[in-house]
Amino acid sequence: MSPHHYDIIVVGAGLVGAAFALCMARIFTDKHSAGNSEASKPSKIALLEARTIAAPTNLSPDTFDSQVVAVTEASRQWLDTLNVWQSCEPRVCPYKRMIVRDAEGTGCIEFDAAEVQRANLGHIVENSVLRASLLSAVAEQDNIDLYNPMAVESLRRDGETITVNLPDGQQLSSSLVVAADGANSPIREQMGFELRTWGYEHTAITATIKTEKSHGFTAQQWFTPSGPLAFLPLRSSAQESPADAHYVSIVWSQTPERAKELMALDEVEFCRELTITSEGALGTIESASERVQFPLTQRHGVDYVQSGIALIGDAAHTIHPLAGQGVNLGFGDARVLAEELARTLEQSGELGGLQVLKRYQRRRKPDNLAMMATMEGFKRLFERDELPVRLLRNIGMSGLNRLAPLKNSLIRQAMGLD
Ligand SMILES: Cc1cc2nc3c(=O)[nH]c(=O)nc-3n(C[C@H](O)[C@H](O)[C@H](O)COP(=O)(O)OP(=O)(O)OC[C@H]3O[C@@H](n4cnc5c(N)ncnc54)[C@H](O)[C@@H]3O)c2cc1C
């Protein structure tokens, strides 16, 4: 049986793979309706996902997915053009302010959306809510075939065609395979992409908590020598008022030893530790979910592309979650790769051509590397416990807090707008 041919095969329907497949499907649809649609066959995409995609559950006002992402304004705008943002909105929490503190001193920086004439600095959304919205949009595209559950078993290159072997014996072929198969990308591994890895020596603990005081639509972060603690505000109902918003998602990155101790604590002791580290900023804390832990590793593909293959999202790079940029970098990859492929389609070029894919790599690598270097710098700066470093850090943070132009530029960069 000859392989089923697709214009693009996307492996992995996580946030990045699903968004990329959707974006490309819309580009194909637009091109098809702009051309002689009678004469040409519409281009098709295969989207393969290994894990069974569960039907969306109706999350209740006080039950949250313990994995959330902070979506930058640039990513939000892009998701909005894909028409997936609106359906997330009842569960999306905008944050208008962000407070970053040095828990070892008095250093503090406050960012306010009003300082850059914006309504919000960003939005917190549960991964499952955003993914459900993406997949329901994918289901409406008749030029995407979703294979689920279906794990790619192996890949074979025959000249300019890549053949994908599936466990049920089916074969799919394409001139372009986009690997959005996550941090441990099997495609990256099989195709021999070289990877630089760097253990952060941190484990992130995520959980949902209920706080005595309202979070006031503010994201907060405390840096300690053993790692940062982030409080990310959640929205439990669309009508929630700023005075009555008490659910917060935490990302507490700690050394593996400390994370192990924290995971072993009972709920009361864990919440007490959280209250101490957060300096009681939101009053007494109650646990509202189980804790989940993730070992953190920095990974970066030396190349993101080979002829006929492109890595995007966590398959190409993973980064410390301390500034909430991981999926935003992945959405940046997806958007730029789609732009380059759209340009190639205009010129009737070959989608999997190395030159085309290299343009994607050239545009994305500097941004991804710069963000990774900044996160590494932040992490190292706050790990230092010596008194002179702590003093300088506190003076620096307080000084920066008074420097409006520099601060505004930082806010715009974090929003993905510069
Ligand atoms: C604790 C923590 C907090 C974070 N907070 C933030 C934040 O605030 N903001 C932010 O921007 N980012 C954040 N991130 C990072 C963000 O979650 C990731 O960057 C993002 O989810 C990666 O998406 P992805 O689609 O690239 O990969 P994944 O979500 O890993 O998706 C990969 C998909 O590929 C599938 N797959 C794998 N192998 C195969 C195969 N052989 N065949 C078929 N399918 C396959 C998998 O089942 C999976 O569904 C955080 C990460 C962590 C760990």
Residue 5 CA, distance from chain mean position: 30
CB-based burial label for 263 (10 Å; 0-12, 13-18, 19+): middle
**Among 331, 365, 335, residue whose Cα is nearest residue 72:** 331
Per-residue burial over 145-165, b if 16 or more Cβ lie within 10 Å, else e, is ebbeebbbeebeeeeeebbbe
**Residue 197, φ and ψ in degrees, nearest 5:** -125, 155
12 ligand 1 Cβ < 6 A: yes
Residue 72 CB less than 6 A away from ligand 1: no
The answer, yes or no, to whether any atom of ligand 1 lies below 6 A from the CB of 330, is yes
**For the chain, what percent of residues have pLDDT higher than 70?**
95
Structure tokens at 281: 């900023």
- Residue of the nearest CA to atom 12 in ligand 1? 326
What would the mean pLDDT of 385-395 be, rounded to a whole number?
69
Q: Cα of 376 to ligand 1 centre, how many Å?
A: 20
Determine the pLDDT at residue 88: 95
Q: Poorest-confidence range of 176-185, 211-220, 387-396, 401-410?
A: 387-396
Tens of pLDDT, residues 179-189 = 999 999 999 99
Those residues whose C-beta lies under 8 Å from the C-beta of residue 4, and which sit 6 or more positions away, are 46, 170, 171, 172, 173
In this structure, the dihedral spanned by the alpha carbons of residues 207, 213, 216 and 218, taken in order and rounded to 10 degrees, is -50
Cα(15)–Cα(131) distance, integer angstroms: 6
pLDDT at position 115, please? Answer: 87
Question: What are 317-356's pLDDT values in tens digits?
Answer: 999 998 889 999 999 999 999 999 999 999 999 999 999 9
pLDDT of residue 169: 96
Model pLDDT for residues 50-71, shown as the tens digit of each residue: 999 987 777 788 889 989 999 9
For residue 249 and ligand 1, the question of a CB distance below 6 A is answered with no
Tell me how far apart the alpha carbons of residues 355 and 362 are, in angstroms, rounded to a whole number.
10
Query: Is ligand 1 within 6 A of the CB of residue 328?
Result: yes
Q: In CATH, which superfamily holds the domain spanning 4-56+66-414?
A: FAD/NAD(P)-binding domain (3.50.50.60)
| Helices and strands: H and E segment counts in the chain | 10, 22
- Pairing mode, strands 97-102 and 8-11: unpaired
CB of 109 sitting under 6 A from ligand 1: no
User: Tokens 């710069």, residue?
Assistant: 370
Residue 338 Cβ inside 6 Å of ligand 1? The answer reads no
At position 343, the amino acid (one-letter code) is R
pLDDT at 302 over 70: yes
Calculate how far, in angstroms, residue 326's C-alpha sits from the geometric centre of ligand 1. 8
Section 17-26 average pLDDT = 98
Per the CB < 8 A criterion, the answer to whether 178 and 20 are in contact is yes
In this predicted model, what pLDDT tens digit does every residue of 144-203 receive, in sequence order? Answer: 999 999 999 999 999 999 999 999 999 999 999 999 999 999 999 999 999 999 888 999
Distance between CA atoms of residues 143 and 196, nearest Å: 36
Counting ligand 1 atoms within 8 A of each CB, the residue from 66, 134, 181, 328 with the most, and so the one to mutate, is: 181
Measured between alpha carbons, how far is 119 from 76 in angstroms, rounded to an integer?
13
Give the phi and the psi of residue 77 in degrees, each rounded to 5: -60, -40
What's 317-368 look like in SS3?
Answer: EECCHHHCCHHHHHHHHHHHHHHHHHHHHHCCCCCCCHHHHHHHHHHHHHHH
For residue 381, what pLDDT is reported? 73
Report which protein residue has its CA nearest ligand 1's atom 4: 321
Confidence of residue 374 (pLDDT cuts 50, 70, 90): confident
What single DSSP character describes residue 41?
A: P
Cα(182) to centroid(ligand 1), Å: 5
User: Cα of 387 to ligand 1 centre, how many Å?
Assistant: 38
Q: Rounded CA gap, 152 and 167, in Å?
A: 7
Is the CB of 65 within 6 Å of ligand 1? no
Please state the rounded mean pLDDT for residues 33-38: 73
In the reported structure, the alpha carbon of residue 33 is separated from the centroid of ligand 1 by a whole-number distance in angstroms of 33
- What pLDDT does 325 receive? 92
15 lines ligand 1 (CB under 6 A): yes
Residue with tokens 């069974």: 52
Torsion of CA 382, 388, 394, 396, to 10 degrees: -90
pLDDT band at 393 (very low <50, low <70, confident <90, very high): low
Q: What distance in angstroms lies between residue 15's CA and the mean position of ligand 1's atoms?
A: 7
Cα(51) to centroid(ligand 1), Å: 13
Query: What is the domain partition of the chain in residue ranges?
Result: 4-56+66-414
Residue 37 has pLDDT above 70, yes or no: no
* Ligand 1 contacts CB of residue 16 (under 6 A): yes
149 upstream amide cis, omega within 30 of 0: yes
C-alpha to C-alpha distances, 90 to 16, 58, 136, 172, 289, nearest whole angstrom: 22, 12, 16, 38, 20
This model's pTM is above 0.75: yes
pLDDT digit string (tens) for 258-292? 999 999 999 999 999 999 999 999 999 999 999 99
* Residue 304, φ and ψ in degrees, nearest 5: -100, -10
